[in-house]
């Protein structure tokens, strides 16, 4: 049973000068526990694919199934549950500047109504896991890019998601910091069994992290295979 499945899924945006098929009839499965990459140039449809997975956009046709639930047939209340089962990290980190590191990580737990004591214990555990316990009381503006993404990862894991979606999560980082963040994502996968979906335009990220990769062009998946096969020249 796949954890994410696309079945002839399309997303068409209606624009002034004609329709844009941002995602154009894609069909593929992501297996529980794998690190799956989606690579493609700007405009290939990667962000739209992410928004289909986390139910921020409905598919125009076809279906998107997450954790056994067909998003195209679910009411909004159930879609919120699906979103809660997906952790997200971003290129620009999306931290709250007015909150400390610990309070950023605590935020999704507050939204989910966790009581203070459980929340504090969970935040402490997460900061330890990503290695920034010493920054608990610091504001994001004082952090390096790599530290910010560690906070982003801790926050994304707070409510125990089954899926972590990483959208260009190393594109703002230098190569050394990128390697650290990728190593942390591998630990997220191996230690917690979380399915990691990595959206990127960087081949090195896919090469060093992903088990399998889908290559997107013009809204379509033009190649999908084990990473080493996709990158071995014919
Ligand atoms: P990527 O993330 O790979 O850069 P996107 O999913 O952002 O690609 O975009 C795919 C295509 O869909 C592009 O041609 C983009 O201009 C178009 N597109 C994305 N979102 C919208 C929207 N809300 N309205 C109209 N066109 C859009
Ligand atoms: P408030 O007093 O308004 O709750 P705080 O900044 O003290 O604001 O806390 C915000 C959130 O961050 C709380 O949910 C709390 O559980 C968490 N938190 C704050 N400091 C720590 C810390 N050092 N370790 C773990 N969690 C913390």
- pLDDT by residue (tens digit) across 189-228? 999 999 999 999 999 999 999 999 999 999 999 999 999 9
Write out the E strands in 67-206.
69-70, 86-90, 163-167, 195-200
Torsion angle of C-alpha atoms 55, 60, 62, 65, degrees rounded to 10: 0
Altogether, the residues listed in the chain come to a count of: 234
Give the C-alpha separation, 207 to 189, whole Å: 16
Give the C-alpha separation, 84 to 146, whole Å: 25
Q: What is the ipTM of this complex?
A: 0.75
- Cβ(50)–Cβ(36) under 8 Å? no
Q: What is the mean pLDDT of the chain?
A: 96
Q: For residue 34, how far is its CA from the centre of ligand 2 (angstroms)? A: 33
Residue with CA closest to ligand 2 atom 14? 106
Write out the E strands in 67-219.
69-70, 86-90, 163-167, 195-200, 212-217
Please report which ligand is nearest the Cα atom of 118.
Answer: 2
Please report which ligand is nearest the Cα atom of 20.
Answer: 1
Q: For residue 93, how far is its CA from the centre of ligand 2 (angstroms)? A: 20
What letter does residue 138 receive in the DSSP assignment?
A: S
Which pLDDT score, from 0 to 100, does residue 232 have?
84
**Does any ligand 2 atom lie closer than 6 A to the CB of residue 102?**
yes
Write the pLDDT tens digit of every residue in 26-64: 999 999 999 999 999 999 999 999 999 999 999 999 999
What angle, 0 to 180 degrees and rounded to 10, lies between the N-to-C axes of helices 116-130 and 145-157?
Answer: 130
Backbone phi, psi, residue 44, to 5°: -70, -20
What letter does residue 73 receive in the DSSP assignment?
A: G
Sole residue written with tokens 């190569």: 175
- Cβ(139)–Cβ(103) under 8 Å? no
Give the C-alpha separation, 221 to 174, whole Å: 29
**Does any ligand 2 atom lie closer than 6 A to the CB of residue 225?**
no
Q: For residue 87, how far is its CA from the centre of ligand 2 (angstroms)? A: 20
Nearest Cα residue to 89 out of 136, 54, 141, 39? 54
Q: Looking at residues 167-172, what average pLDDT do you find? A: 96
Which pLDDT score, from 0 to 100, does residue 63 have?
97
């Amino acid at each position: 049973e796949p954890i994410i499945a696309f079945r002839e899924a399309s997303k068409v945006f209606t624009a002034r000068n004609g329709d844009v098929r941002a995602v154009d009839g894609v069909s593929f499965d992501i297996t529980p526990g794998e690190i799956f990459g989606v690579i493609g140039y700007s405009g290939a449809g990667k962000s739209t694919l992410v928004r289909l997975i986390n139910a921020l956009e409905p598919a125009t046709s076809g279906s998107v199934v997450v954790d056994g639930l067909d998003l195209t047939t679910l009411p909004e209340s159930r879609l919120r549950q699906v979103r809660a089962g997906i952790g997200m990290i971003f290129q620009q980190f999306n931290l709250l500047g007015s909150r400390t590191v610990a309070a950023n990580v605590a935020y999704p737990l507050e939204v989910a109504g966790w009581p203070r004591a459980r929340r504090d214990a969970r935040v402490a555990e997460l900061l330890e896991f990503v290695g920034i316990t010493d920054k608990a009381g610091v504001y994001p503006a004082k952090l390096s890019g790599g530290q910010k993404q560690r906070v982003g990862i801790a926050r994304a894991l707070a409510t125990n998601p089954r899926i972590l979606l990483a959208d260009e999560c190393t594109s703002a980082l230098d190569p050394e910091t990128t390697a650290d963040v990728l190593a942390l994502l591998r630990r997220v996968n191996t230690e917690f069994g979380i399915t990691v979906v990595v959206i990127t335009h960087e081949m090195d990220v896919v090469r060093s992290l992903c088990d399998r990769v889908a290559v997107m062009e013009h809204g379509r998946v033009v190649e999908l295979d084990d990473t080493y096969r996709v990158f071995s020249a014919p």
